[in-house]
Amino acid sequence: MNHFDLINGVLHAEDVALPDIAAAVGTPVYVYSRATLERHAQVFRNALSGLDNPHLAFAVKSNPNLAVLKVLAKQGYGADVVSGGEMDRALAAGMAAQDIVFSGVGKTAEEILRALKAGIGQFNIESEEEGAELAMLAGSLGLTAYAVLRINPDVDAGTHGKISTGKADNKFGVGIDRAPEIYARLSALPNLHMRGVALHIGSQLTSLEPLETAFNKVGVLVQALRDQGHIITHVDLGGGLGVRYRADDNPPEPAEYGDMVARVTKDWGVRLMFEPGRVIAGNAGILLTRVIRVKPGSGNAPFVIVDAAMNDLARPALYDAWHDFEAVAPNGQKMLANIVGPVCETGDTFAMGREIDPVQANDLAIFRTAGAYGATMASTYNSRGLVPEVLVDGDKFAVVAERISPETILAAEHVPDWLK
Ligand code: LLP
């Protein structure tokens, strides 16, 4: 459920008419709904109510906007971060350092040192090499780092290849077969307190089966580690729960996920940790765009050229992702169209041969389910500005990330003296 609905024939975000946002901020612009973010945060938490004190860490990569993080911090969420930049955002949003998990396959020594000094609650180590470096760096500061070892369970998540992370040939974690020996060596290091394991097999999972298979493998591993004498207190089950992008998508409900987790982990005796991203933010945001013009195509579907492009919303170009397209003031009829942006490559295509609300030049429209992996993946390709973000709360809204103009970007570039 989300709060982007028609009121008197005009799409609103909560109680704000989208044309009012377009008039005030221009287009393209991302629009987030606070009520939807809060609802999703609560639904996910409730789904895990059968567990003992689960730790919820919002995957900042899915939507790192400071105001969005603030909304989730107020909901009691911590953060899963994968860079120093994300860590700074989570801290700036008021999340406690203790509630932040530092993931990522390529943490630099500088990032690790900064995270140690900030008192980050847990490092999710992705290799023996990283664990050794973490121990050494913690020692240099006279600190102890709390860590879990990310394992790669070699399970096919059944999602797009570019967002699968749990197959043996993916770069993430250590192979589950090698985990016991690596865990033993890391546990022996000073300044490193190993307390469990982590996994994350991929994103936009539309079936619980691969998750259950992977969790069961982790359960076996936890027992094997305990048999070796290790004290396992934490298991981080990652994120990955999919959302509905189109009407016939049928992702698992958070409650079904929660039931499965409770059943599979009931004897583990650990604190479970979660890193949801998309399931919280995905349907809490839309990308508002304006039709520049409509031109005939080769068949019977015209090209609807909108002012949003692949630099603003990269998912269709990168993963052939589907985002519903709707007119802000639909008239109830339908037309067949190809929806494209202004960027000069064919990849800048949002949909081909899609049945959509009829639109013409200057009409406003939205791409739905753009709250996760939307603005954060924007670029300035084709020397376009960086897309702004707006947060709606009831009948008020605020710009929570400014549009960064092409002029501002140009001003940060310099021609060296020797070239003048
Ligand atoms: N934890 C880890 C270690 C992750 O790598 C990710 C996502 C998450 C949690 C959050 O996963 P979620 O709950 O959002 O599925 N740009 C792609 C998605 C990349 C996901 C990367 N990792 C897209 O637009 O579909």
Q: Tens of pLDDT along 311-320?
A: 999 999 999 9
**CA nearest neighbour of 388 among 33, 114, 32:** 32
* Inside any domain, residue 78: yes
> Which CATH number is 243's domain given?
3.20.20.10
Tell me: pLDDT of 212 over 90.
yes
Q: State pTM to two decimals.
A: 0.97
List the catalytic residues.
Answer: 344
Residue 29 is predicted with a pLDDT of 99
The residue whose CA has the least distance to atom 16 of ligand 1 is: 373
pLDDT digits (tens, 9 = 90+) for 383-393: 999 999 999 99
Shared domain check, 42 and 26: no
pLDDT digits (tens, 9 = 90+) for 69-107: 999 999 999 999 999 999 999 999 999 999 999 999 999
H helix or E strand, kind and range, residue 209: helix 209-227
Residue given tokens 């304006």 in the structure block:
290
Shared domain check, 100 and 242: yes
Q: Can you state the angle between helices 209-227 and 254-264, rounded to 10 degrees? A: 30
* Inside any domain, residue 419: no
Q: Tell me how far apart the alpha carbons of residues 225 and 209 are, in angstroms, rounded to a whole number.
A: 24
The partner residues of 389 in beta bridges, in order of sequence, read 30, 401
> Which CATH number is 26's domain given?
2.40.37.10
| CA 207 to ligand 1 center in whole angstroms | 16
The total number of structural domains in the chain stands at 2
Ligand 1 nearest atom to the CA of residue 62, by list position: 14
Shared domain check, 311 and 203: no
**CA nearest neighbour of 146 among 55, 217, 70, 60:** 55
Mean pLDDT, rounded, for 202-220: 97
Asked if residue 202 has its Cβ within 6 Å of ligand 1, the reply is: no
Q: Which of residues 280, 301, 324 is at a domain's end?
A: 280
3-state helix, strand, coil in the chain (%, to 5): 35, 25, 40
Q: Which of residues 238, 261, 280 is at a domain's end?
A: 280
Asked if residue 200 has its Cβ within 6 Å of ligand 1, the reply is: yes
Asked if residue 173 has its Cβ within 6 Å of ligand 1, the reply is: no
Choose the residue to mutate in 61, 148, 151, 379 for probing ligand 1, maximizing ligand atoms within 8 Å of C-beta: 61
**CA nearest neighbour of 129 among 189, 213, 65:** 189
Please list, in sequence order, all residues whose beta carbon lies within 8 angstroms of the beta carbon of residue 386, skipping any fewer than 6 positions away: 378, 379, 380, 403, 404, 409
Shared domain check, 117 and 242: yes
CB 308 within 8 A of CB 341: yes
Residue 111 is predicted with a pLDDT of 98
Mean pLDDT, rounded, for 230-249: 97
* Inside any domain, residue 418: no
* C-beta atoms surrounding 416 within 10 Å: 6
The residue whose CA has the least distance to atom 20 of ligand 1 is: 203
Shared domain check, 228 and 330: no
Q: Which of residues 224, 246, 280 is at a domain's end?
A: 280
Shared domain check, 40 and 21: no
Domain carrying residue 366: 4-31+282-411
* Inside any domain, residue 248: yes
Asked if residue 311 has its Cβ within 6 Å of ligand 1, the reply is: no
| CA 203 to ligand 1 center in whole angstroms | 5
| CA 354 to ligand 1 center in whole angstroms | 27
State the burial class of residue 335 (Cβ atoms within 10 Å of its Cβ: 0-12, 13-18, 19+).
middle
